[in-house]
Structure 1
């Protein structure tokens, strides 16, 4: 019976679906027990991970039999894909399965940050009545959403935004200006400079690569529209977090929602300390009950198929 090792949390029905056909080792704490994990993968045929397990170096070398790496998500920066492929391993991401969760996160945080009233509960409960101070929030309708990266998640985000009356522009160097997708989606193609100058909200939807590292630099942030907000559900390292925080503190930017950071978790003295109008979450934009079920079901089925069952 072929062996599958699962190192991080996975929807239990999906795990159970694999057990009749495979020897399944499921322990969501394995990611934090390197020695035990290395020992367990020595004879596994497939390894299933989320974003914290680093499939490279010692761990990858220990996967002597494995032919499949299942990724419970879409980002692959924690997996040495070329090295896996060189060893004959198939890397399977859960493409599209968590797109709706991420898109809803982007739209939800955009609404919260533009309106600027939803963090007043403690004041109101204490008897304060900051009505005048909170009466200048902005509506999402009529605003411009700028998407950096226009793949599956970006396109779904655009559709949700358009449903709320937003104008959407996007920058994606992988797509030509005359690509049919622009007319099909009603989204305007823009250069990065045009997008930053026009967008009321900028959302990142690109992988972390040498080309995208520090893509949203302090110089580019300085070119953004005054009062604009930044949403990063992609990867830490794509933006200069210190520059975003500094721009919010001076009023140049209106706020930010970050779900990803460099490093993770944040350390003491990080640039977000004391920053107003920010929403900071622990890499969960793509994780909902529904998304976890879709991601887990998809990966369970694809890993089983890749193993010939």
Structure 2
């Protein structure tokens, strides 16, 4: 049986698959669409991250396909309905990168609240902006709003409470009486109430028709003045021009984005222009802005866990559990 791997996978997991299967490991296939479609002609399984599109065209080119492994948890790049109709197993790495994402959220939250970590060049150049950087904020006693209360959202809440933060949460699919809220010490509330109360908001939602542009200009406008926004879920949930405007106008203290509606983030867009203005000192009260290339869930440890979990799941799907 043949497995095609079209994006990066941890080497030991690839080797483990090679011990049992004919493996074609070509991470560059994600950028060679025609090559990927051709490779699928003899594939029994495909392993992807978030950029390979498992759509109607790919499925049509893969008559033998029995399993799709997803090196991550978001499934918006996979046609789940079509896979189910053909009996193709979809194997995500549920929970394997939760720790990495949660630590990213807390790390960027602390950086944005403190606002003091961008002055290294000035200090090394002999400047001493002590007064300008003495207005940072502490996380302790502040309120974090977690939107989406799955495994990652719950771990973020747990870490935040360890810092002495109050945590409120919203999840349209999780009833207010669900035990998960109490177990994590989190108060369930409506989304509007969360935005009114939270000093920081972290998004942990799948991208669906119901969450597309959920955080538009109106909803961003409901956030507390001086709040920060962190998105590690999917870029399409957030209206990027509206966020850039809110940051530029000083309504928000800062934002950290690891995901974008278009990836890679196009040059010259509202966020890129805003960041250039911040770097060039063209704003009197520059906000904090952290942009990273969809790596919140990527650490050495998470890569190993994710790859091992998917390799195991795909093996089971192909062999019926005979490992």
Range of TM-score over shorter length: over 0.9
Determine whether 1:262 maps to 2:273.
Answer: no
Residue 103 of structure 1 and its aligned partner are, at CA, apart by 0.2
Determine whether 1:226 maps to 2:237.
Answer: no
Partner of 2:39: 40
Determine whether 1:104 maps to 2:103.
Answer: yes
Cα deviation digits, residues 271-293 of structure 1 (max 9, x gap): 11224410000001011111000
Aligned equivalents of 1:204, 1:60: Cα separation in 2: 31
- Which has the larger displacement, 253-262 or 120-129? 120-129
Residue 24 of structure 1 and its aligned partner are, at CA, apart by 0.5
Partner of 1:94: 93
Partner of 1:71: 70
Partner of 2:274: 274
1:274 is paired with a residue whose SS is helix
Partner of 2:22: 23
Partner of 2:303: 292
Partner of 1:246: 245
Aligned equivalents of 1:243, 1:39: Cα separation in 2: 41
Aligned-pair Cα RMSD in Å: 0.9
Aligned equivalents of 2:251, 2:274: Cα separation in 1: 16
Cα deviation digits, residues 228-252 of structure 1 (max 9, x gap): 0000000011011111111111111
Cα deviation digits, residues 37-72 of structure 1 (max 9, x gap): 111111111000000000003212111101100000
> Could you list the runs of 5+ residues in structure 2 that have no partner in the other structure?
276-286
2:301 is paired with a residue whose SS is helix
> Could you list the runs of 5+ residues in structure 1 that have no partner in the other structure?
none
1:234 is paired with a residue whose SS is coil
Residue 161 of structure 1 and its aligned partner are, at CA, apart by 0.5
Cα deviation digits, residues 6-54 of structure 1 (max 9, x gap): 0000000000001121000001101111122111111111000000000
Aligned equivalents of 1:127, 1:149: Cα separation in 2: 45
1:131 is paired with a residue whose SS is coil
1:237 is paired with a residue whose SS is helix
CA contact (8 A) 2:244 2:274 kept: no
Residue 154 of structure 1 and its aligned partner are, at CA, apart by 0.3
Determine whether 1:214 maps to 2:225.
Answer: no
Determine whether 1:55 maps to 2:54.
Answer: yes
Aligned equivalents of 1:69, 1:159: Cα separation in 2: 32
1:109 is paired with a residue whose SS is helix
Equivalent runs, 1:51-200 vs 2, <5 Å: 51-200=50-199
TM-score calculated relative to the size of structure 2? 0.94
